[in-house]
Amino acid sequence: ETDEEKKDNQDIIIVKLSNLMHLLSATYAISKVRGRKYIQRLMPHDAVDVEPVLTILRWFGWIERQERGLLGQSDSAQRVDIPDCIRMLQRQLNEVKDCEAKLWESVHTLLTWLGIISLVPFDLHSIDSSLENVTIDDSSGGNSITLVQSIVSTSASHLGDYGATRETAAACLASLLSRPDLQDLELEEFVEWSVQILYWFRTSQRPCDSKATQLLFPMPDEAPSIFIVMGVLQTLVALVKTGHRSNLLSTEQKLKGIEKLWEQSILVAEKKAAGSVVLRKLFVKLFARIGCSYLPPKVATWRYQRGKRSLVENLMKGTESTRRDDGSSDECDINESSPLSCDDLFFVPDQVEDAADQLLRSLTDPATIVRWSAAKGIGRLTERLPAVCADDVLDAILKICSDPEQDRAWHGA
Please give the average pLDDT of every successive group of 10 residues along the chain, which has 413 residues: 73 84 91 91 87 88 74 52 70 63 87 89 77 45 70 89 90 88 80 89 80 66 87 91 70 73 85 82 90 78 64 63 50 40 66 88 88 90 84 85 72 68
Position 330 scores a pLDDT of: 44
Position 168 scores a pLDDT of: 93
Position 413 scores a pLDDT of: 64
Position 351 scores a pLDDT of: 83
Long-range contacts, stretch 346-353, CB < 8 angstroms, 24+ apart: 346/296, 346/386, 348/295, 348/385, 348/386, 348/389, 349/294, 351/259, 351/262, 351/290, 351/291, 351/294, 352/291, 352/294, 352/295, 352/381, 352/385
Long-range contacts, stretch 331-339, CB < 8 angstroms, 24+ apart: none
H-helix segments, 294-349: 311-316, 318-327, 329-337
Position 110 scores a pLDDT of: 93
Is residue 44 exposed (0-12), middle (13-18) or buried (19+ Cβ within 10 Å)?
exposed
Position 408 scores a pLDDT of: 72
**pLDDT tens digits, one per residue of 76-112:** 445 556 776 777 776 776 666 656 568 889 999 999 9
Closest CA relative to residue 21, chosen from 47, 51, 60: 60
Position 131 scores a pLDDT of: 60
Whole-model pTM: value is 0.80
* Residue 333 CB neighbour total at 10 angstroms: 10
* Residue 403 CB neighbour total at 10 angstroms: 11
Give yes or no for a contact between 115 and 167, defined as CB atoms under 8 angstroms apart.
Answer: no
> Rounded CA gap, 406 and 366, in Å?
11
Position 185 scores a pLDDT of: 78
> Rounded CA gap, 293 and 309, in Å?
35
